[in-house]
Structure 1
Amino acid sequence: MKKKVHSIASMLATMTIATFFLSTIFVELFGTHEAVAYVKNLIVIPGLFILVPAIAAAGGSGQALSKSRQGKLVDAKKKRMPFIAANGLLILIPCAIVLDGWASEGKFDEMFYLVQSIELLAGATNLTLMSLNIRDGLKLNGKLRTSNARVS
């Protein structure tokens, strides 16, 4: 049961961040300021109410699963998680809330785009780290073949 919860929560969190990331890029490239404001609002509500529990469930279930596992892949996943969590709590969530407020006020100035650039960089970083964790999880479960890595 823990494996299923972990798998679903991990994929949901990763897909949610990917959706936020791609939506931001597409609306900035092709949308109006009103569309940007709408997307920023959706990222905060309901987006964060989907993302935060998914990340918490992924982290908690991963922690529970890792108690019975050892090895390089488990260690690598454990090392990434604090950075993913800190990046989300200290950068991504505050940026999303601030950008939503500014966009709803029509404040699309240099500061908006600076904060959005930070948000996109942090989002890309978390997507990369979460994807690496998913890859290593698939290796641990034998669902992804490894060439040189030893699964423990």
Structure 2
Amino acid sequence: MRIIHPIAGALALIIIATFWMATVSSELFGSLDAVAAVKTGIAWGLLLLVPSIALAGGTGFLLARGFRNALVAAKQKRMPLIAGNGLLILVPAALYLAWAANAGAFDSTFVTVQIAELIAGAVNVTLLSLNMRDGLRLTGRLKPVALSRRAA
């Protein structure tokens, strides 16, 4: 579990960040065909993303058993937000956007859902990054930032 958890968490973070960057790039610089290809790729990518997040969450839950630590508590508080955001916003948005893009329906609904997906994706990248930072601190691979006093 100590190997699976960080790999699954890092994979989830990389996948979501890649989806986000591909979306922004295709929307800003690509053709409508490129947007449709990205949206289709993201929909298929859910087959890797959803299990990686579930695996990270499940192994994290098991690793956290018995720990009483502020970093563990912070990670545990973020996970329901990450999962809820993914299941309630990101997955449905990805499936709708893939369908709409392939149907050529680049209308106001598409744009609205796309904006919601980008916001939700940025939130999940942020939350997963914070979880990774805290996990690295828990394992001692990342030292806490020391606060220094300025000379008066």
Settle same-fold status: TM greater than 0.5.
yes
Q: CA deviation at 1:16?
A: 0.3
Counterpart among 68, 71, 82 of residue 73 in structure 1: 71
The residue aligned with 2:86 is 88
The residue aligned with 1:139 is 137
Q: CA deviation at 1:3?
A: 1.1
Q: For residues 52 and 71 of structure 2, what CA distance do their matches in structure 1 show? A: 22
The residue aligned with 1:32 is 31
Q: Which has the larger displacement, 60-69 or 113-122?
A: 60-69
Any idea what the Cα deviations from partners look like across 1:89-148, whole Å, max 9, x if unmatched?
Answer: 000000000000000000111110110000000000000000000000000000000135
Q: Is 1:57 matched with 2:31?
A: no
The residue aligned with 1:125 is 123
TM-score when normalising by structure 1: 0.94
Q: For residues 12 and 119 of structure 1, what CA distance do their matches in structure 2 show? A: 19
Q: For residues 44 and 115 of structure 1, what CA distance do their matches in structure 2 show? A: 14
The residue aligned with 1:16 is 15
Q: How many percent identity over aligned positions?
A: 52
Unaligned runs of 5+ in 2: 148-152
Q: Is 1:114 matched with 2:149?
A: no
Secondary structure of the 2:57 match is helix
Q: CA deviation at 1:69?
A: 2.0
The residue aligned with 1:97 is 95
Secondary structure of the 1:3 match is coil
Q: For residues 148 and 19 of structure 1, what CA distance do their matches in structure 2 show? A: 32
The residue aligned with 1:44 is 43
Q: For residues 148 and 137 of structure 1, what CA distance do their matches in structure 2 show? A: 18
Report which of the two structures shows the higher radius of gyration computed on alpha carbons. 2
The residue aligned with 2:150 is none
Unaligned runs of 5+ in 1: none
TM-score when normalising by structure 2: 0.94
TM superposition outliers: structure 1 runs of 4+ over 2 Å? none
Q: For residues 102 and 118 of structure 1, what CA distance do their matches in structure 2 show? A: 15
Q: CA deviation at 1:70?
A: 1.9
Q: For residues 73 and 146 of structure 1, what CA distance do their matches in structure 2 show? A: 11
